[in-house]
């Protein structure tokens, strides 16, 4: 079982090997890129085409191979309530192994059925949890499908994420001057005071219905009797409007620089644009495909706005329309993470519906010109 194989970000090799072995056994050739060397990991992104009938591929379905850090081993057990949990008390890793399992099993079923099915692609990324690092290194032309879906959102099957925010992270390192706090405090320049002033001047929390900002980490100083010469703050801001978000990020940087000037310390401050926002319209073929696939299961679809990023953010920015779908896992990133077996079955059925219905929603290739 995949969940049993630990795969924290950058250490996905064993789980990637299991995925490749499964697909190879099904007669599918899997490619791996060299993103591992760029991300500091031991594995690259995987992708493959599962060739069916006719033209295609019509749709790329994806999941990520890594999990957030487990604090120990993983031993999934199926409880009386029909849900898997890790009996050893940390994450289960259903985020995103539920999706990997569903995609592999759907492929197994299609291959075993002997019935015709449309061609599709699968992709499995590395280092998603530590900032969508893997997908950013996926080769531009690796996927040739016109539409894509990642199965990587917490919630019961049926949720379709059509909108997700952009995120920028901020890191500021204040460098003051150390001095004995009792003997000669006037010689010191407090980096902590500078950081506090900066944070105090920032607008944080929910700034409006589509923008938020947070300082989540602060560390500095060595002892109560030393004026601290070092303090680092780290934070983020998220928003659905890129322009507005750029303004919020710039204001955070201003607060840092102003505080440094006022307190006479130096500062190194930097912003990283972690991922861009996306917003798909109701008319978008990939949204209509997802709605149709969910409806075919007899479930009511839910169009959702995400608070976080996923591989879908990066693919949409590259011009590949991509939805992120609820994959059945609950309370992901916590020791309470669980996955109901019937949700896993529904997720597999959803993957099958997406594959079978995709040709109806993808542009048809132009018929060949008749010979004159
Ligand atoms: Zn995930």
Write b or e for each residue in 285-309: b if 16 or more Cβ atoms lie within 10 A of its Cβ, otherwise e. bbbbbbbbbbeebebebeebebeeb
128 is catalytic: yes
* CA gap 68, 89 in Å, rounded: 14
What phi and psi, each to the nearest 5 degrees, are found at residue 267? -145, 140
Cβ neighbourhood burial of 48 (10 Å; 0-12, 13-18, 19+): buried
Given the residues 66, 95, 152, 326, select the one marked as catalytic: 66
3-class SS of residue 81: coil
Cα of 96 to ligand 1 centre, how many Å?
5
Domains of the chain: 2-164+277-361 (3.40.630.10), 166-275 (3.30.70.360)
Contact 237, 247 (CB under 8 A): no
Catalytic residue among 12, 128, 274, 337: 128
CA angle 51, 141, 238 (to 5 degrees): 115
What pLDDT shows up at residue 56?
81
Q: What's the gap in Å between 8 CA and the centre of ligand 1?
A: 12
Asked whether 350 and 94 are in contact (CB, 8 A), the reply is: no
Tell me the torsion sign for CA atoms 75, 79, 83, 85.
negative
Separation of CA 135 and ligand 1 centre (Å): 13
Task: Return the C-alpha torsion angle 342, 121, 12, 96, nearest 10.
Answer: -30
How far is ligand 1, taken at its centre, from the CA of residue 87, in Å? 21
**258: alpha, beta or left? (left if phi > 0; alpha if psi -120 to 50):** alpha
Contact 322, 149 (CB under 8 A): yes
Strand order of the β-sheet with 338-340 is 76-78, 83-86, 338-340, 329-330
Taking alpha carbons only, the member of 219, 234, 217 closest to residue 168 is 234
DSSP one-letter code for 27: T
pLDDT at residue number 370: 61
- Per the annotation, the verdict on 25 as an active-site residue is no
Q: How far is the CA of 98 from the centre of ligand 1 (A)?
A: 10
Q: Can you give the pLDDT of all 372 residues of the chain as single tens digits?
A: 788 888 889 989 999 999 999 999 999 999 999 988 888 999 999 999 999 988 889 999 999 999 888 667 888 889 899 988 888 878 888 889 999 999 999 999 999 999 999 999 999 999 998 889 999 999 988 999 999 999 999 999 999 999 999 999 999 999 999 999 999 999 999 999 999 999 999 999 999 999 999 999 999 999 999 999 999 999 999 999 999 999 999 999 999 999 999 999 999 999 999 999 999 999 999 999 999 999 999 999 999 999 899 999 999 999 999 999 999 999 888 888 888 899 999 999 999 999 999 999 987 655 566 665
Residue 345: C-alpha distances to residues 98, 319, 332 (Å): 10, 31, 18
H helix runs in 128-272, sequence order: 133-136, 191-201, 242-263
Cα of 366 to ligand 1 centre, how many Å? 37
Q: What is the pLDDT of residue 365?
A: 58
SS3 293: helix
For residue 86 the two structure tokens come to: 């890790």
Specify the pLDDT at position 241: 94
Neighbouring C-beta atoms of residue 144, cutoff 10 Å = 13
305: left (phi over 0), alpha (psi -120 to 50) or beta: beta
Cβ atoms of residues 67 and 5 within 8 Å: no
């Amino acid at each position: 079982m995949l969940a049993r194989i630990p795969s924290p970000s950058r250490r996905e090799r064993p789980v990637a090997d299991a995925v490749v072995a499964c697909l190879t056994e099904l007669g599918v050739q899997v490619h791996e890129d060299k993103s591992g060397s760029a991300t500091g990991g031991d594995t690259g992104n995987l992708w493959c085409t599962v060739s069916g009938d006719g033209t295609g591929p019509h749709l790329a379905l994806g999941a990520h191979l890594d999990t957030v850090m487990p604090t120990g081993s993983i031993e999934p057990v199926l409880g009386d309530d029909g849900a898997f949990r890790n009996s050893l008390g940390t994450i289960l890793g259903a985020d995103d192994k539920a999706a990997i399992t569903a995609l592999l099993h759907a492929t197994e079923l299609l291959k075993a059925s002997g019935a015709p099915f449309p061609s599709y692609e699968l992709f499995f990324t590395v280092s998603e949890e530590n900032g969508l690092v893997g997908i950013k290194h996926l080769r531009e032309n690796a996927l040739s499908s016109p539409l894509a879906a990642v199965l990587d959102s917490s919630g019961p099957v049926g949720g379709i994420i059509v909108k997700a925010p952009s995120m920028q992270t901020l890191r500021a390192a204040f460098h003051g001057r150390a001095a004995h706090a009792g003997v000669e405090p006037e010689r010191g320049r407090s980096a902590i005071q500078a950081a506090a002033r900066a944070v105090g001047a920032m607008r944080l929390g929910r700034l409006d219905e589509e923008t938020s900002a947070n300082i989540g980490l602060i560390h500095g100083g060595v002892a109560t009797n030393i004026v601290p010469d070092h303090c680092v703050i780290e934070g983020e801001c998220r928003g659905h409007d890129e322009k507005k978000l750029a303004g919020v990020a710039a204001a955070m940087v201003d607060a840092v620089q102003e505080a440094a000037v006022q307190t006479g310390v130096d500062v190194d401050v930097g912003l990283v644009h972690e991922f861009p926002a996306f917003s798909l319209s109701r008319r978008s073929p990939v949204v209509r495909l997802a709605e149709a696939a969910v409806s075919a299961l007899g479930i009511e679809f839910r169009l959702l706005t995400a608070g976080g990023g996923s591989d879908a953010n990066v693919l949409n920015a590259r011009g590949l329309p991509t939805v992120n779908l609820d994959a059945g896992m609950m309370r992901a990133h916590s020791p309470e993470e669980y996955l109901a077996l019937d949700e896993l079955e529904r997720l597999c059925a959803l993957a099958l519906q997406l594959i079978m219905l995709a040709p109806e929603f993808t542009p048809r290739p132009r018929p060949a010109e008749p010979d004159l």
